[in-house]
Amino acid sequence: MNRPTNIRRRIRDELVALSGLVVVWMLLWGTFSWMVFLSGLVVSVVVLVVFPLPPVTFLGKLRPLGLVRFAVRFTVDLVIASLHLAWTAFRLGYQPRCAVIAVQLAVRSDLNLTLCGEAVSLIPGSLIVDIDRDAGVLYIHVFDVSDEAAAEQFRGKVYALEARIIGAIGSDDELRQVAERGESR
């Protein structure tokens, strides 16, 4: 990787962040006018200059089919998990048991780690307790598991979730890494 591509990538990352902030600003106003757009641009530039973030580079590509597949499964999982937890909350006298499991992700990029962590936390009975960033391991607290077999089953669900995320936004190389893990298991 030589320097010019690095700088170009950096500029691209900043532009993505900038347009994201401008969109949020315009959504907050709720109406479009050039005044709103320009003031949003100024505010976003100031925010990016005053609060610089560590670069999170996106090296994959967006795959529409994968995105749709991820979104649909995410919604279904969110509803099922919510109903499950609500049901558990209403079941008086039932003591749910939990487990902390380590899940080794196939792709170790910061972006993948973050997205998997967010999705896992939002969906199926799970909470991230700790992350080993260098090794790409998520430590997940799983709610309402009866025994170790159920915990193992949950690990499979997280693998499938990661595969869907990579299938939606991953590069060809990352897709290969996920496929290799699938074979080795």
Partner 1 sequence: MTGTSVVDLIAAVCLLSGAVLSLAAGLGLLRFPDLLARMHSATKPQVLGLLLILVGTALRLGTVVDITTLALVGAFQLAVAPVAAHMVGRAAYRTGLFRRDLLVTDDLAAARKTGDESGD
Binding residues for partner 1 (CB under 8 A) = 24, 26-28, 30-31, 78-79, 81-83, 85-90, 92, 95-102, 117-118, 120-122, 125-130, 132-135, 137, 139, 141, 143, 145-148, 150-151
**For partner 1, which is the closer residue by CB, 4 or 90?**
90
The two most distant CA atoms of the chain are separated, in Å, by 63
Token pair of 169 as six digits: 């936004």
**For partner 1, which is the closer residue by CB, 148 or 173?**
148
Give CA 55 to chain center in angstroms. Answer: 16
Name the minimum Å distance from CB 110 to partner 1. 14
* Cross-strand partners of 130: 139
Give CA 13 to chain center in angstroms. Answer: 18
State how far the Cα of 105 lies from the Cα of 134, in Å rounded to an integer. 11
**For partner 1, which is the closer residue by CB, 148 or 180?**
148
**For partner 1, which is the closer residue by CB, 67 or 171?**
67
Name the minimum Å distance from CB 80 to partner 1. 10
State how far the Cα of 50 lies from the Cα of 62, in Å rounded to an integer. 30
